[in-house]
Amino acid sequence: MRAGRRRADRAKIAVLLMAPLLFAAAFGLSRSSYASHPRRPSRPLSVPPRFERIVRENLLQAGVLAPQRAPEAVQTSSS
């Protein structure tokens, strides 16, 4: 009977000692992997300057000076 109580007491102490360690480990992992807390500021996405220059040159060679406009919206008259 005493041996069982001793084992139960030791198990309780082990759980109490492990809980803060597991909490600290989970906290550290969550801080390092949570998406809304970036470590570095974000950079805007952009194409490489060389690629942009080549595309502009190709468009100029093809005679395209500006992007095409969308067709005008159809307007109806009210009666």
Q: Is pLDDT at 25 greater than 80 in this prediction?
A: yes
Q: Is pLDDT at 55 greater than 70 in this prediction?
A: yes
**Is 24 a domain residue?**
yes
**Is 53 a domain residue?**
no
Domain count, the chain: 1
Residue 8 DSSP SS3: helix
pLDDT at residue 32, as a whole number: 76
**Is 2 a domain residue?**
yes
Structure tokens at 22: 């597991």
Distance from C-alpha of 7 to C-alpha of 15, rounded to nearest angstrom: 12
Q: Whole-model pTM? A: 0.36
**Is 60 a domain residue?**
no
- Give φ, ψ of 21 to 5 degrees: -65, -45
Distance from C-alpha of 59 to C-alpha of 67, rounded to nearest angstrom: 10
Structure tokens at 31: 């801080």
Q: Is pLDDT at 54 greater than 70 in this prediction?
A: yes
Task: State the residue for tokens 């069982």.
Answer: 4
